[in-house]
Homo-oligomer: A and B are copies of this chain.
Amino acid sequence: MALEAATRDVPRVPWTRRHLLGLEELTRDELLAILDTAERFADAERRRKKRANLAGKVVVNLFFEPSTRTRTSFGLAARRLGADVLDFSSAGSSTSKGETFIDTAKNIEAMAVDLMVVRHASSGAPYLLAQHIQCGIINAGDGAHEHPTQGLLDMFTIRQKKGRLEGLTVALVGDILHSRVARSNIHGLLKLGAKVIVCGPPTLVPPAITELGVEMSYSLEQILPRCDVINMLRIQFERQRSGLFPSVAEYARLFAMDGARLRKAKPDLLLLAPGPINRGVEITPEVADGPHSAILQQVANGLAVRMAVLHLLCGQPGEA
């Protein structure tokens, strides 16, 4: 396959960034450089062997919001590349003793740290750090802003399954308003030539989002026949309490993916979901485990994408 061959080449652009803060500021060539590098790590056989790209480097997971899956994925990716990994969570940390966010990060950096993987409830927090910190910073999710490695692993999975991104129609379905996953998908997919539709109940789809260059819809039924890919965003039940959607049952009736709805879609529809999924709510078990779903493939690809990002930001050159 031509794509496979291309990935054995050197990256098309020399990588010069120190941070990965969001997909919004990356160029098309930089996005492709990450995806191509990730292909080299994605082959399970090669991933299994311990590599030395980050030997002697220290990667710190600095998570101010709870996370298991993203933190674990970054931790495993860094260890696979030979780095030492340290988990630093906010619970019981010095920030609870009155220390500022930046002072906490500067203190950690002073311990000879090379890369910080940062998750924070405030949009922009990793950008603030990047102005005060010398070591590399990876945004692992900031508020409702961006979650760039999730966007990258979604794009990687689409390209892996469809052979391309250009010209595809990709729908993001659910809570667009609060979703950093949606924002990173939108920025990345548009740059690589896909058409993006955002779809959900009116309370969760802000009209201003069309300014990013996406189509907007309140009806999954209407857009379904046109979609090549649907990315089912997670329902965050805590939003319901705030009155943003009337009931889980009503949401599921309109936006969940079940067998009946699937029959109205293209026969080769690809289904993504960032997880953890609520079985029987936004997706039925037979669909989640069916042939259209790439949910577990996404998790596996997340490891390859994060290895690629870690390698590009601070790996030994020529070691990919």
- What's the number of copies of this chain in the assembled complex? 3
Q: A47-B112, A112-B300 are in contact. List 4 more A-B contacts (CB 8 A).
A: A50-B55, A99-B277, A107-B276, A110-B300
Check B56 against A296 for contact (C-beta < 8 Å).
no
> Least Cβ distance of A135 to chain B in Å?
12
Given contacts A50-B55, A50-B56, contact A111 B76 (CB under 8 A): yes
Enumerate 26 A-B pairs (CB-CB under 8 Å) in ascending A order: A49-B56, A66-B92, A68-B92, A68-B94, A69-B94, A69-B107, A75-B86, A76-B84, A76-B86, A80-B112, A94-B276, A98-B237, A98-B278, A99-B275, A100-B279, A103-B275, A103-B277, A104-B276, A107-B275, A107-B276, A107-B296, A107-B299, A110-B297, A110-B300, A112-B300, A112-B303
Is A44's beta carbon under 8 Å from chain B? yes
For chain A, residues 39 to 82, give those with C-beta under 8 angstroms from any C-beta of chain B. 44, 47-50, 55-56, 58, 66, 68-69, 72-73, 75-76, 79-80
Is A88's beta carbon under 8 Å from chain B? yes
Instruction: Give Cα A277–Cα B99 distance, bound, in whole angstroms.
Output: 6
> Least Cβ distance of A131 to chain B in Å?
14
Q: Which residue of B lies closest to A97 (CB)?
A: B276
Is A93's beta carbon under 8 Å from chain B? yes
B residues within 8 A CB of A108? 72
B residues within 8 A CB of A68? 88, 92-94
Q: Which residue of B lies closest to A302 (CB)?
A: B111
B residues within 8 A CB of A106? 296
Instruction: Give Cα A298–Cα B296 distance, bound, in whole angstroms.
Output: 40
Contact of A276 among B80, B99, B276 (CB under 8 A): B99
Contact of A299 among B49, B88, B110 (CB under 8 A): B110
Check B103 against A276 for contact (C-beta < 8 Å).
yes
> Least Cβ distance of A39 to chain B in Å?
16
Instruction: Give Cα A106–Cα B88 distance, bound, in whole angstroms.
Output: 26
For chain A, residues 238 to 296, give those with C-beta under 8 angstroms from any C-beta of chain B. 275-279, 281, 296
Given contacts A86-B76, A88-B68, A92-B66, contact A112 B44 (CB under 8 A): yes
Contact with B along A105-120 (1 / 0, CB 8 A): 0111011100000000
B residues within 8 A CB of A302? 111
> Least Cβ distance of A149 to chain B in Å?
13
B residues within 8 A CB of A79? 58, 84
